[in-house]
């Protein structure tokens, strides 16, 4: 019998390799399909829902990319401007400014900063920039700026509280409890307020308040406080008498409490003594006009 030999027939080894490759591909597909089928059985949604989720993700990514390209090209700014102009044409523009919470602050200072927005389209009002501008005013501790549609900008002011008067070489300045300067004040207007003086005293206002809290019975009687040598306080009472305290937070608070106790027993304030010196923790030195210096033991004996 004659046997036909094909010239283009593949060698036996090549056919075997091709057949092996097909087998491996088929097994890999079967494994992948099995894994995917198992995963779909575990997940709480169907294969159709999964395809829709992937489609949404792709569309969202495409939209974000388109928005980024448009922003870089300036199209979004132009669109925002057109929207703002349309809002203004519809009556949504600044015609009124309402200021709340002002008691001591000159209200005109607030209007000066906000009225620049008059006739501006409401969407274009930069509330953050307005707030930052208002906080620069000395009396303003905080501010909130909001839109009240269709045409009003509302400003809520939180004012600083006057705490004492800082005596400077050329003037007196009203300050709050942190030492923040509020405004110059006349001698007449400063009557009855605690006066603070001395180089660096402005930074020590908080520590002075803590010190006076140590002797609350004496606090209303303290008229002046002088920061001496950037290390300690001299207190002057409403009686005109002066008390020299030691340096150091604990030492000065302890001396002031001891003085309050001695005053309660011996009525030191309002007496003949012009000055008390408690810088020595064991003794109180007293200066009486026209007499030599007297010494009183810290224990009160």
Q: What is the mean pLDDT of the chain?
A: 80
Which range is least confidently modeled, 22-31, 201-210, 263-272?
A: 22-31
Assess whether pLDDT exceeds 60 at residue 224. Answer: yes
Assess whether pLDDT exceeds 50 at residue 218. Answer: yes
- In terms of average pLDDT, the best of 38-47, 69-78, 289-298 is 289-298
Q: Which residue has the higher pLDDT, 75 or 284?
A: 284
Measured CA distances, 232 to 235, 239, 257 (Å): 10, 21, 16
pLDDT of residue 102: 93
Which range is least confidently modeled, 18-22, 177-181, 203-207, 258-262?
A: 18-22
Assess whether pLDDT exceeds 70 at residue 13. Answer: no
Q: Which residue has the higher pLDDT, 62 or 145?
A: 145
pLDDT in tens, 75-102: 445 545 555 455 444 556 778 889 999 9
Per the listing, tokens 């087998």 go with 23
Sign of CA dihedral 42, 47, 48, 51: positive
Assess whether pLDDT exceeds 50 at residue 300. Answer: no
pLDDT average, residue stretch 226-255: 96
Q: 269: how many CB neighbours lie within 10 A of its CB? A: 18
Q: Are 233 and 227 in contact (CB under 8 A)?
A: yes
pLDDT of residue 12: 55
**237: which 2 tokens?**
């009472």
**17: which 2 tokens?**
């390799």
**68: which 2 tokens?**
């980024």
- pLDDT band at 246; cut points 50, 70, 90: very high
- pLDDT band at 289; cut points 50, 70, 90: confident
Instruction: Tell me, yes or no, if the pTM score tops 0.85.
Output: no
pLDDT average, residue stretch 12-30: 57
In percent, how much of the chain has pLDDT > 70?
A: 68
Q: Which residue has the higher pLDDT, 298 or 225?
A: 225
- pLDDT band at 259; cut points 50, 70, 90: very high
Q: Which of 267, 163, 265 has the alpha carbon at shortest distance from 206?
A: 163
pLDDT average, residue stretch 210-227: 96
What angle (nearest 5°) sits at the alpha carbon of residue 106, between those of residues 103 and 110?
A: 105
pLDDT average, residue stretch 168-173: 92
């Amino acid at each position: 019998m004659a046997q036909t030999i094909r010239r283009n027939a593949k060698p036996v080894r090549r056919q075997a390799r091709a057949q092996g490759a097909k087998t491996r591909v088929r097994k890999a597909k079967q494994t992948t399909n099995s894994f995917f089928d198992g995963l779909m059985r575990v997940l709480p949604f169907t294969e159709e829902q999964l395809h829709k989720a992937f489609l949404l993700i792709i569309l969202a990514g495409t939209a974000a990319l388109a928005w980024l390209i448009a922003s870089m090209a300036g199209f979004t700014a132009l669109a925002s401007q057109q929207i703002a102009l349309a809002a203004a044409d519809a009556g949504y523009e600044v015609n009124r400014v309402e200021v709340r919470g002002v008691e001591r602050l000159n209200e005109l200072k607030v209007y000066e900063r906000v009225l620049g927005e008059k006739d501006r389209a409401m969407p274009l009002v930069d509330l953050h920039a307005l707030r930052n501008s208002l906080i620069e005013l000395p009396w303003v501790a905080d501010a909130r700026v909001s839109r009240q549609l269709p045409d009003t900008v509302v400003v809520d002011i939180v004012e600083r509280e006057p705490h004492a008067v800082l005596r400077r070489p050329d003037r007196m300045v009203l300050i709050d409890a942190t030492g923040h300067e509020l405004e110059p004040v006349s001698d007449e207007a400063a009557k009855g307020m605690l006066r603070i003086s001395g180089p660096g005293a402005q930074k020590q206002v908080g520590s002075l308040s803590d010190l006076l809290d140590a002797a609350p019975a004496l606090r209303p009687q303290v008229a002046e406080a002088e920061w001496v040598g950037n290390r300690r306080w001299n207190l002057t009472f409403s009686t005109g008498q002066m008390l020299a305290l030691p340096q150091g937070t604990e030492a000065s608070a302890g001396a002031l409490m001891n003085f309050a106790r001695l005053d309660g027993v011996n009525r030191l304030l309002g007496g003949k003594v012009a000055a008390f010196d408690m810088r020595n923790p064991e003794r109180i030195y007293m200066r009486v006009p026209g007499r030599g210096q007297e010494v009183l033991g810290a224990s009160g004996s």
